[in-house]
Amino acid sequence: MSETPHNAERPLANGQKRIDFQTEPARYRHWKLAVDGAVATLTMDVDEKGALFDGYELKLNSYDLGVDIELADAIERLRFEYPQVRALVLRSAKPRVFSAGANIRMLAGATHAHKVNFCKFTNETRNGIEDFSANSGVATLCAINGTAAGGGYELALAADHIILIDDGAASVALPELPLLAVLPGTGGLTRISDKRKVRRDLADVFCTTEEGVKGARAKDWRLVDEAVPGSKFDDAVAARAKEFAAKSRRDGAASGIKLTPLTRRFETDSIEYATLMVEFQRSERIATIVLRGPTAPPPNSADAMVQQGAEFWPLKLARELDDAILHIRLNELEVAALVFKSSGDPEQVLAYDRFLETNKAHWLAREIRLLWKRVLKRVDLTSRSLVTLIEPGSCFAGTLAELAFASDRSYMLAPTLPSPASGGGSGRGSGDNKHPAAIALSAANFGDYPMANGITRLACRFLADPSALEAAKAEREKLLDAERAQKLGLVTFALDDIDWDDEVRVFLEERASFSPDSLTGMEANLRFAGPETLESKIFARLTAWQNWIFQRPNAIGDEGALKRYGTGQKPAFDMRRV
């Protein structure tokens, strides 16, 4: 493997070939998940020797992507496997240390792409923790028993309530700027200002004070909610957790469903899942994701849905799509465009949407929709060109139509006009039994899946013309052909089969030829029109600044702070302000 100073590719630990996002509690190396009645406790106990890559150790509960994959998995399990849980406690098993944050040696040796993807995933995980509270009613309480620095404190910031031990030593800190010349990039700056509303001048002091803030001052400055002496700490945490559980409006069943391992088959140029397939055309730098519609109608009751558990089609597809997107993000860096295709009966997909709508008060239906919401957000935030091809036999209806709206462009195949030579035709595929290309909307497209900016993809699409949104709404539950879809503004281009192959090919070739950086920037700017939220600020403002800083010599140059961290040598900065 060739190594350039700023872009050292580290080998994965234990000879692994790819970063795998699938895990389960029995395999955790860094977290312990314990459920006691309505209170779940996630205890961070990072295995120093359990790093994802070779070349660094995870001291002092510092973390890398591998640690966060377990955390994300644990939160998913709490959602689906433990509906009885009503409050979550995050804590550390290490004495006098909560977490030192993202591992600095890992960051210093990581490729730029890995750093960006790592931050993105950890941000998504923390947003997921907040969503768990806001939408599933499981508030998180963070018990800080010692130093919580950088990403360690940022993890705490994702909680609803932070209890800091007041022992004259424990502190919360965001030392990134003074120590590493980067930003607290996992939402830290946004959450202290927008979520916790720390006064801006105090925030300025806090973010430039390497050692952080302790005890009563941390509470006064709103950095934590409580500062509690050590002798009362455990009792305070337990009492608060009980309170949160009592206040929760989660009405889950006594037991959940098992998130069984996904079945995946990795081939050289494809990945086969149960409900989707990924095909890589590597020379074209394209990954095609073909989603498969349901093979059976929805069950006839919520209980029957619970019975199906992880096999329930919308759940299974969401989990597999999530895994595929993450796999491509981290392991298939050269893929320029994700092409979404689908096969199946759009009416069946609508039927599943109706089923979830009818049962929306049921804990499992709610969690499945929330999962889809998060998966679709993950798609929005994937820095590859996204295109949806709506062809005959496809099933982009309701929830699945969101992929078309998440895409930078969508192409829909229109029936070919009858011509004397070909006789009557209904477009490509008319020779087989496939139904003509159709797209369909359901209630889900109008509120269940808001983007990071807080509004739906359709609302975002029609910002200029709210009546267009109303017009689309009026067409719910109908199969819309290409002409209608284009008229409603639901697709970018409707093409007949004379133009189809060439147009799609040229688009994808052109896309693959552009600079990946400028594309990432352009797409990220165009995808999120409209209002800002905490989440959109994290992904737009904070992340963009961080990614700029991550490229600057002051951080990653040979004399930069990340490179020099731990050597004892002082970084040398280019002192010109930009």
What 3-state DSSP class applies to 163? Answer: strand
Nearer to another protein, 422 or 569 (CB): 569
Active-site residue, 272 included: no
Q: Label the pairing between strands 31-36 and 39-44.
A: antiparallel
Element (H, E) at 450: none
| Residue 332 touching another protein (CB under 8 A) | no
Closest distance of CB 147 from another protein, Å = 12
Which CB, 208 or 255, lies closer to another protein?
Answer: 208
- Give the total of residues touching another protein (CB under 8 A): 18
Query: Catalytic residue at 535?
Result: no
166 binds another protein (CB under 8 A): yes
Neighbouring-strand partners of residue 423: 419
Q: Give the DSSP letter string of 285-323.
A: TEEEEEEE--SSPPPSSHHHHHHHGGGSHHHHHHHHHHH
- Note whether 216 binds another protein by CB under 8 A: no
Q: Is 569 in the site for another protein (CB under 8 A)?
A: yes
Nearest CB to another protein, comparing residues 173 and 504:
173
Describe the strand order of the beta sheet including 385-390 as a list of residue ranges: 265-266, 270-272, 276-281, 286-292, 337-343, 385-390, 409-414, 493-496
Residue from 21, 53, 363, 565 binding another protein (CB under 8 A): 565
User: Based on C-alpha coordinates, what's the Rg of the chain?
Assistant: 25
Q: What secondary structure, in 3-state letters, does 170-207 show?
A: CEEECCHHHHHCCCCCCCHHHHHHHHCCCCHHHHHHHH
> Is 567 one of the binding residues for another protein (CB under 8 A)?
yes
**Residue for token digits 């994937």?**
382
Element (H, E) at 235: helix 230-247
State the helix-helix crossing angle for 65-80 and 112-136, rounded to 10 degrees: 20
CB of 344 to another protein, least distance (A): 53
Q: Is 558 in the site for another protein (CB under 8 A)?
A: no
* Contact residue for another protein among 9, 24, 45, 167 (CB under 8 A): 167
Q: How far is the CB of 57 from another protein (least distance, A)?
A: 10
From the CB of 229, what's the least distance to another protein, in Å? Answer: 4
Among the listed residues 17, 200, 249, 570, the single contact to another protein using CB under 8 A: 570
Task: Please state, as a whole number, how many other Cβ atoms lie within 10 Å of the Cβ of residue 333.
Answer: 13
SS3 227: strand
Q: Please tell me whether residue 23 binds another protein under the rule CB under 8 A.
A: no
Residue 303 CA to residue 386 CA, distance in Å, equals 37
Under the criterion CB under 8 A, does residue 205 sit at the interface with another protein?
no
Question: 337 pairs with which residues across the strands?
Answer: 286, 385
Q: In the bound complex, what is the minimum distance in angstroms from residue 15's beta carbon to another protein?
A: 16
For residue 168, the minimal CB distance to another protein (Å) is: 5
Binding segment toward another protein, per CB under 8 A, in 81-89, 114-122, 144-152, 162-170:
162-170
- The single residue among 14, 231, 268, 300 that binds another protein, judged by CB under 8 A, is 231
Reduced to 3 states (helix: H, G, I; strand: E, B; else coil), residue 13 is: helix
Nearest CA-CA partner of 121 in 39, 21, 219, 46: 21
Which residue number, 100 or 336, has a Cβ lying nearer to another protein?
Answer: 100
Kindly identify the residues of this chain, within the stretch 88-127, that bind another protein according to CB under 8 A: none
Q: Which of the ranges 73-81, 396-404, 522-530, 563-571 carries the binding residues for another protein, by CB under 8 A?
A: 563-571
Handedness of CA 552, 554, 559, 562 (dihedral sign): negative
CB of 176 to another protein, least distance (A): 15
Which residue do the tokens 């990432």 mark? 520
- For the beta carbon of residue 159, count every other beta carbon within 10 angstroms: 23
Regarding 202 and contact with another protein (CB under 8 A), the answer is no
Rounded to an integer, what distance in angstroms lies between the CA atom of residue 196 and that of residue 198?
6
Nearer to another protein, 263 or 569 (CB): 569
Residue from 81, 124, 130, 176 carrying the catalytic annotation: 176
What is 382-408 written as a DSSP string? --SEEEEEE-TT--EEGGGHHHHHHSS
- Piece in contact with another protein (CB under 8 A), picked from 77-85, 203-211, 364-372, 507-515: 203-211
566 binds another protein, rule: CB under 8 A: yes
CA dist., res. 175 & res. 189, Å (int): 12
Least distance from C-beta 231 to another protein, angstroms? 4
The 3-state DSSP class for residue 343 equals: strand
- Looking at 11, 37, 168, 466, which residue binds another protein (CB under 8 A)? 168
**From the CB of 213, what's the least distance to another protein, in Å?**
11
Is 209 one of the binding residues for another protein (CB under 8 A)? yes
Q: Under rule CB under 8 A, which residues in 171-190 are in contact with another protein?
A: 178
Q: What three-state secondary structure class fits 78?
A: helix
Considering only residues 232 to 261 of the shown chain, the ones binding another protein according to CB under 8 A are 232
Part in contact with another protein (CB under 8 A); list of ranges 160-168, 195-203, 307-315, 491-499:
160-168
Q: With contact defined as beta carbons under 8 Å apart, do 565 and 101 qualify? A: no
Which of these is catalytic: 70, 76, 124, 154?
154
CA distance 293 to 296: 9
The reply on whether position 220 binds another protein by CB under 8 A is no
34, 169, 239, 304: which one contacts another protein (CB under 8 A)? 169
The residue ranges that bind another protein (CB under 8 A) are 166-169, 178, 209-211, 229-232, 565-570
Q: Which residues are identified as catalytic? A: 154, 176
